[in-house]
Amino acid sequence: MMWSIFAENLPLVKKHLQSFTSMLKQADLLVVGAGILGTGHALQALRSGYSVILSEKDNAPQEATVRNFGQAVISGLSRGKWKQYGLDSLALYQEIQAEFDLGIRNNGSYYIASNADELQLIEELYAINVQDNYRCQLLNKAECLQRFATLRPEYCLAALYFPLELSIEPRTMIHRLLVYLQKKYPDTFQYLPNTSICACTPVNGGAMAETTKGEKLKASKIIICSGSEFRLLYPEIFRNSNLVVSKLQMMQTYPLPGVHLPGNILTGLSIRRYESFQQCPSWAKKDDAVYDPKLLDYGIHILFKQALDGSIIIGDSHEYAPASAVEQLGFDVHTEINELMLNEAQRILQLPDWRMQKYWNGFYSQVKGADMFHLQVDENIQILTGIGGKGMTSGLGLAGHNITQTFA
């Protein structure tokens, strides 16, 4: 009789068992957030032989990773650990690109000096990078004008060229990288888009995450790389994090078939903004009064990058607000900022058509008074975010270092 009842209900038992099994996913590592930092951690863990679950709250990454300018500029990083993270990232980008097309181009970066202060700074940064064995070359005015037919002669004195640096298509690269991981590691990688994590708790031998769908994700380690979104998981930690959100504005011309930029152009305002130049002996002596103070107030530094379709991307500005009051920044694209950027851009390049097909905002988080937000919530749960605008350049290298430390 008992066996008969069990036999009759066996299909139902199997169904519930399958349902329970499907609700519980396990791996060595769970990464929350599939931006460049989160996907970088997944990549580095997989390369080290660990199994990985990567969750993403949206159908595909939508935040800082896909809205940035799109370049890997190791030359702009400060000496020490960040430059090393950048070099490690560069090597990994090149390795993967040789195996799978991420849409990355190795066309280099050019810092154009427009006055004596900027010339002195690029010469000093050249000396630093020669000492660090990082390839670079000083170009005189004639060499610059020979390479860039659209560069205004009256703007350019000289340039510092870094041939190893990369152009990245931010709207597509992260999606291609995720496809690469799924193809390369089909047995050890689980990617879960449209999956929001609502709780992380310690358990024996690891940690457990719960999704808003009711799924349980168990892992030996959990790393949360979801930008300021971690406020939903740890509101008290978030309130005390000193996180700041930066809002950027960028624009893109229509395709310009007659224009060719052989590399990314960074300008005098970039020289006054990037961390690497702050380590130069003449940094404190530079005269900022030569620029419209509004350019500096809005954190504008003019960059030019030619996209694959021949259009020119121009950026960018920086406005700031506490992450706890990000609504202060709003979502509007400010006409005044665009006009300031466009006027300065026209002082540097001569383009045949300055009409724009797109304007957009980008947002990323950083930490006031620190280079990142990295907190061990529990022995097996950590938050790593707030690395500012360095994600595309150094995120993969930072992730590799952190995976080594996490599983040590």
Q: Give the span between the Cα atoms of 152 and 51, in whole angstroms.
A: 53
What was the pLDDT predicted at 146? 97
Q: Give the span between the Cα atoms of 254 and 274, in whole angstroms.
A: 28
The answer to whether domain 1-106+170-227+373-408 and domain 109-163+243-369 are alike in fold is no
Task: Please state, as a whole number, how many other Cβ atoms lie within 10 Å of the Cβ of residue 198.
Answer: 12
Separation in Å, CA 261 to CA 106, 270, 394: 13, 18, 24
1-106+170-227+373-408: CATH topology: FAD/NAD(P)-binding domain (3.50.50)
Instruction: From the options 3.40.190.10, 3.30.9.10, 3.40.720.10, 3.30.70.260, give the CATH code of 109-163+243-369.
Output: 3.30.9.10
How are beta strands 381-385 and 373-378 bridged, if at all? Answer: antiparallel
Question: Which portions of the chain are predicted below pLDDT 50?
Answer: 1-7, 9-22
Domain boundaries, the chain: 1-106+170-227+373-408, 109-163+243-369
Separation in Å, CA 243 to CA 13, 297, 352: 49, 20, 42
Q: Give the span between the Cα atoms of 161 and 266, in whole angstroms.
A: 10
Burial of 10 (0-12, 13-18, 19+ CB in 10 A): exposed
What was the pLDDT predicted at 17? 34
Q: Give the span between the Cα atoms of 363 and 115, in whole angstroms.
A: 31
Q: Give the span between the Cα atoms of 361 and 234, in whole angstroms.
A: 27
What was the pLDDT predicted at 62? 75
